Amino acid sequence: MTRQRILITGASSGLGEEMARRFAAKGRDLALCARRLDRLETLRDELLAAHPGITVAIGELDVTDHDAVGRVFGELSAELGGLDRVVVNAGLGKGAKIGTGRADANLATARTNFLGALSQCEAALELFRAREAGHLVLVSSISADRGLPGAKAAYSASKAAVSSLGESLSAELARTRIVVTTLLPGFIATEMSGKAGDDAKMTATLDEGVSAMVEAIEKERVRVALPGAKWKVIDVALRFLPAPVTARFV
């Protein structure tokens, strides 16, 4: 099935911005959301210049504002004549060791990554349930598999919540025409991953990472760790090996 009308959150940079370019090249119509409207306007102009046959709608959106999520999703859906796929991608990578006086960073990450994702799922599924069809994509992280120590604790916990939400919705909607995909990316070169200090030897290029993500989305996989076989192995290891073993490399 071709999902022609695709909404992507967090589309002003990183994975979201590059996914928008890939789907535009496939001739898809796009609804792009992010807090930085100026960057969305620049991206829209770029995509329309390269692919004049598509439609690109944009909307300024802070996903931690629950009421705004429903309103903006509704407005963009109306502008495109409906939505076939929603990619819940907006995320935050702030963090500090818990109890060191930087609760603001950890709470912001939790609000954006999980509560923001939950708001997006509420809005997307309300639209999909009304038409009894759609594809919901949740961008989680390989860090969801096992709690990470130090500054990444709140981030990994928030992504574990996203993965659990994806599993719940996949089970609930398995016998319907609403498909749910949960992606668990490993290290992919973005501005956010650079600030997080991810291991350069383990980091895929943005091209490699987004290529794998788009392929998995188009195949409508239920759950997939990516990019490449190494992250599938790491995914299994983190989920099933004993904690004393995985503690050596997390």
Looking at residue 138, its pLDDT comes to: 98
Looking at residue 244, its pLDDT comes to: 84
**Model confidence band, residue 197 (pLDDT cutoffs 50, 70, 90):** low
95 touches 151 (CB < 8 A) = yes
Residue 196: pLDDT over 60? no
φ, ψ dihedrals at 81, nearest 5°: 80, 25
Question: 99: which DSSP letter?
Answer: T
For the beta sheet containing 29-34, the strands, ordered from the edge strand earlier in sequence to the opposite edge, are: 56-60, 29-34, 5-9, 85-88, 134-139, 178-185, 223-226
User: Distance (Å, rounded) from C-alpha 219 to C-alpha 196?
Assistant: 30
Place of tokens 């930085």: 36
Active-site pick, 23, 128, 155, 231? 155
User: Distance (Å, rounded) from C-alpha 82 to C-alpha 62?
Assistant: 21
Per residue in 92-132, pLDDT (tens digit) is 999 999 999 999 999 999 999 999 999 999 999 999 999 99
Percent of the chain with pLDDT over 90: 90
Looking at residue 202, its pLDDT comes to: 81
How many CB atoms sit inside 10 A of residue 154's CB? 25
Looking at residue 248, its pLDDT comes to: 75
Largest CA distance in the chain: 55
Per residue in 136-177, pLDDT (tens digit) is 999 999 999 999 999 999 999 999 999 999 999 999 999 999
Looking at residue 1, its pLDDT comes to: 79
Q: Specify whether 57 is catalytic.
A: no
227 cis-preceded (ω within 30 degrees of 0): yes
Percent of the chain with pLDDT over 70: 97
The closest alpha carbon to 143, from 188, 208, 207, 179, belongs to 188
The domain made up of 5-246 has a fold known as: Rossmann fold (3.40.50)
Looking at residue 35, its pLDDT comes to: 97
176 touches 210 (CB < 8 A) = no
Distances (CA, A) of 67 to 55, 116, 206: 25, 11, 32
Looking at residue 200, its pLDDT comes to: 72
Looking at residue 245, its pLDDT comes to: 85
The DSSP bridge pattern shows strands 29-34 and 223-226 to be unpaired
Residue type, 156: S
Question: 111: which DSSP letter?
Answer: I
Per residue in 18-46, pLDDT (tens digit) is 999 999 999 999 999 999 999 999 999 99
Looking at residue 247, its pLDDT comes to: 81
How many CB atoms sit inside 10 A of residue 42's CB? 13
Average pLDDT over residues 71-94: 98
Looking at residue 78, its pLDDT comes to: 98
